[in-house]
A and B are shown apart, each in its own frame.
Chain A
Amino acid sequence: MSSARTLPLRDPRLVAIAALLPVGFVGHTIQLLSEDRPWDPAQWPRYDWTPGWHLALPPWLVVAFAVGLGVAVLGLAVAVFRRGDPHPARLSDRTWLLATATFYFLHYLTYPFRIRNHMTLMFAMLFVIAGCHVVAGRRSRTEEPRTRVLDRWIVRGVALVLALTYTFAALHKTNVRFLDLTLPTAALRAVDDFWIYGDLGHAAPPWAKAVAIYGTLVVEYSFVWLAWAFTRTRVFFVVGLMLFHFPHIAVMNVADYPMIASAFFPALFSEAHWRVLQRQLPPSLWTTTGAAVGVGAQLWWMPYWGAMMVYAFVVVALWGAWIGAMAASFYMRFRPSAPAPATGVTPV
Chain B
Amino acid sequence: MERSTKAALERRLAGFVATCGVLLAANYLLPYAGLRDDSCQTMFSELQWSREGNNHAFMPQHMIGDSWDFFYDVHLEWEDDPAVFRQEAPEEEARHEALRAWMHRPERRHNRDALRLVVDRLCRDGRRFSLRFRSAHDGPVVAPDEVCADPSLRRVRWWIPVRRFETDEPLPPWMRP
* A residues in contact (CB < 8 Å) with B: 44-46, 48-53, 55-56, 108-111, 113-117, 119-121, 124, 127-128, 131-132, 135-136, 140, 145-146, 149-150, 153, 156-157, 160-161, 164-165, 168-169, 171-179, 183, 185-187, 190, 257
**Chain A contacts of B20 at CB under 8 A?**
124, 127-128, 131, 157, 160-161
Given contacts A111-B162, A128-B17, whether A164 and B24 have CB atoms under 8 Å apart is yes
Contact: B55 with A51, CB < 8 Å? Answer: no
- Interface residues of B, count at CB 8 A: 54
Contact: A108 with B162, CB < 8 Å? Answer: yes
**B86 in the interface (beta carbon within 8 A):** no
A338 to chain B, nearest CB (A): 41
**Chain B contacts of A56 at CB under 8 A?**
158
Contact: B25 with A164, CB < 8 Å? Answer: yes
Q: Per-position contact with A for B96-121: 1 when CB-CB < 8 Å, else 0?
A: 00110110000000000110011001
Contact: A172 with B16, CB < 8 Å? Answer: no
Q: Can you list 14 A-B contacts with CB-CB less than 8 angstroms, sorted by A residue number?
A: A48-B118, A49-B114, A51-B162, A110-B161, A116-B39, A117-B42, A120-B41, A127-B20, A149-B9, A161-B21, A161-B24, A174-B56, A179-B57, A187-B44
User: Across the A-B interface, how many residue pairs have beta carbons closer than 8 Å?
Assistant: 169
A108-B162, A172-B42 known; 15 other A-B pairs, CB under 8 Å?
A48-B99, A51-B114, A110-B161, A115-B39, A115-B162, A132-B16, A153-B10, A153-B16, A157-B17, A168-B25, A172-B40, A172-B47, A172-B56, A175-B45, A176-B55
Most central of B1, B114, B163 by chain A CB within 10 Å = B163
Contact of B163 among A115, A156, A174, A183 (CB under 8 A): A115
Q: Which residue of A lies closest to B29 (CB)?
A: A168
**Chain B contacts of A168 at CB under 8 A?**
25, 28-29, 40-41
Complex-state Cα separation, A190 to B45, whole angstroms: 13
Contact of B41 among A117, A135, A136, A183 (CB under 8 A): A117
> Which DSSP category, helix, strand, loop or mixed, fits chain A's interface?
helix
**Chain B contacts of A111 at CB under 8 A?**
162
Complex-state Cα separation, A172 to B37, whole angstroms: 11
**Chain A contacts of B167 at CB under 8 A?**
46, 49-51
**Chain A contacts of B98 at CB under 8 A?**
44-45, 48
Q: Which residue of B lies closest to A131 (CB)?
A: B16
Complex-state Cα separation, A294 to B112, whole angstroms: 46
Complex-state Cα separation, A177 to B49, whole angstroms: 12
Contact: A51 with B160, CB < 8 Å? Answer: yes
Q: Which residue of B lies closest to A124 (CB)?
A: B24
A179 to chain B, nearest CB (A): 8
Complex-state Cα separation, A190 to B10, whole angstroms: 45
Q: Which residue of B lies closest to A113 (CB)?
A: B163
Complex-state Cα separation, A121 to B42, whole angstroms: 12
Contact: B28 with A164, CB < 8 Å? Answer: yes
Contact of A177 among B40, B42, B46 (CB under 8 A): B46
Given contacts A48-B98, A115-B38, A172-B42, whether A145 and B24 have CB atoms under 8 Å apart is no
Contact: B163 with A117, CB < 8 Å? Answer: no
Contact: B10 with A149, CB < 8 Å? Answer: yes
Interface residues of B in 5-39 (CB under 8 A from A): 6, 9-10, 12-14, 16-17, 20-21, 24-25, 27-29, 31, 38-39
B108 to chain A, nearest CB (A): 12
Contact: B13 with A149, CB < 8 Å? Answer: yes
Q: Which residue of A lies closest to B95 (CB)?
A: A48
Complex-state Cα separation, A178 to B44, whole angstroms: 8
B162 to chain A, nearest CB (A): 5
Please provide the 9 A-B residue pairs with the shortest distance between their CB atoms, ordered closest to farther: A45-B98, A153-B13, A168-B28, A120-B39, A177-B46, A172-B45, A157-B17, A169-B41, A178-B46
**Chain A contacts of B21 at CB under 8 A?**
157, 160-161, 164
**Chain B contacts of A174 at CB under 8 A?**
56-59
Contact: A135 with B162, CB < 8 Å? Answer: no
Contact: B113 with A51, CB < 8 Å? Answer: yes
B155 to chain A, nearest CB (A): 11
**B54 in the interface (beta carbon within 8 A):** yes
A122 to chain B, nearest CB (A): 10
B31 to chain A, nearest CB (A): 7
Q: Which residue of A lies closest to B43 (CB)?
A: A117
Contact: B114 with A173, CB < 8 Å? Answer: no
**Chain A contacts of B176 at CB under 8 A?**
none
Interface residues of B in 39-86 (CB under 8 A from A): 39-48, 54-59
Q: Which residue of B lies closest to A220 (CB)?
A: B41
**Chain B contacts of A49 at CB under 8 A?**
99, 102, 114, 117-118, 167
